[in-house]
Amino acid sequence: MKWQTECEKAYSLVVPYLRTILIKKLIDRGVPIRRASKIVGLSITSYEKHIKDDKIKKILMNDDINDMLDALASRLYSGDKIEPTTFCLVCSATRKIFDLSPCIF
């Protein structure tokens, strides 16, 4: 069995979906998909792969997480920096939705 930290697990199981939602929220604000993809750091191909996944709907149904993602998208739209710990908090909250082990945040 391969040993992984909780963050490593989340990087493949949670983070791509959070990044996909951020791209969608930027597109909804009028940012072209190519630019939104570059800002968020997820390829357009990955965005298109994940956007129709049920995990996206499950995340967006959680009002608290949706609000946090709205705030992150607003900061990205304005060109503000997002502190890594801010994203960690969103990831940690999202992990609970998918019954993943909690992280230290």
pLDDT higher than threshold 80 for residue 21: yes
Q: Mean pLDDT across the stretch 58-67?
A: 97
**pTM score above 0.85:** yes
Domain ranges of the chain: 6-97
Q: Tell me, what DSSP letter sits at residue 53?
A: S
The pairs formed by 97-103 with CB atoms below 8 angstroms and a separation of 24 or more are 97/58, 97/59, 97/62, 97/65, 98/13, 98/14, 98/55, 98/58, 100/6, 100/9, 100/10, 100/13, 100/14, 101/6, 101/9, 102/6, 103/6, 103/7, 103/10
More confident residue, 105 or 60: 60
Q: What is the mean pLDDT of residues 31-60?
A: 97
